[in-house]
Structure 1
Amino acid sequence: MEHKKTYNAMELKTAHGNVIIEGPITSKQLAGLEFHKDLIAFRPSALQHKALIEIADLPEGRIIIARDQETVVGYVTFLYPDPLERWSEGKISNLIELGAIEVIPKYRGASVGKSLLKVSMMDSFMENYITITTEYYWHWDLKGTGLNVWEYRKVMEKMMSAGGLEWFATDDPEICSHPANCLMVKIGKNVDQESVQQFDRLRFKNRFMY
């Protein structure tokens, strides 16, 4: 499908000063910004910066950032699901995945994550997509936050709901491997019924297996 990207921005007041939430941003814009050294949830900071620049260049790739002046302090990415995951098997052209969301410890608890999701969904073109996120407890910063898996899961659900994502059931083995893992979804209001049915078949692949 055609991928339109409409830039949106907002300013968020925090105890550490004002943060700009904006995007989708281009790879060129992202390359020109500093990337905070504490953005290390998925890989070392410099490598994650490089990975995000590559995602920004993908036709469907969308990156919304939180920046403190010229330094990126948080981000969220949207792109097609990993080819190795079941969510790419249906070849649903209007299914997009929230691939990663990260905020540096200094700005956690300041609604930066929620604001990243709100700005993401300000783009009316997102109503053409089924947006999913797969939440696995082993990706969560339990040590850094001091939360247990259930407390962290509650925080994640609250944050995702700011972008309109809701809990959906699935029989995906990785998600079912721990009760705290979950699939969250937002079905855009312009998504056709056939795509929704295709997505439901992906959610429950083992429904008719005995």
Structure 2
Amino acid sequence: MAPGHQSRPLLPAVVPLGWAMAAGAVLLISGVHDEEPPRPSAGQAFSASADPAPPAVRPLPPADPVRLRIATIGVNAPLTRVGLDAAGALRTPPPGEPGLAGWYGDGIAPGSAGTAVVTGHVDTPAGDPGVFHDLGALTTGATIEISRADRRTAVFTVRAVELYDKRRFPSRKVYGSSGRPELRLITCGGGYTEDTGYLGNVVVYATLTAVT
């Protein structure tokens, strides 16, 4: 990947319309790695046999998330609240803080009923790894922990990890709510060009399975 880039519109925005729909784009940094970030394997995608109903866990009342931990890929990151810009695009954490993850604060709190959304940078303008650089390597069955301001920890189990072409991002599938407490982690991924940045988005689907 050649040096020289700028932030690119890569993710649909989240709009609070009962359940989230796409409108606009999220800006994530497109870096200059010689090698692209990990891609999820075909075995991590949804399938009828590999997507059983999750255990029944009572949803939590709303509370701001404060920290995200994914032990299997070495993530232990503070969370900051992000919102929409004037164009309806979901803001991301400041580019100068690649280790910070962003929670869409006008949506669902992680652990509450509905679909919570967390974004993060895959890398920096200099090509250094961002907080979600290895998101594509996450496997089904892995655990995601989110510590909340109410001193509870929402524990999610990964159900699928998929890579989408940004031009055909399945907004209804990603942001739609089943009524269960669910979580989506989203970052850039796939191939890269100097003109457009990363060509796709990695999306992790996870469901609340425990509270500590």
What's the TM-score once normalised by structure 1's chain length?
Answer: 0.30
Structure with bigger gyration radius? 1
Q: TM-score, with normalisation over the residues of structure 2?
A: 0.29
| Bigger helix share | 1
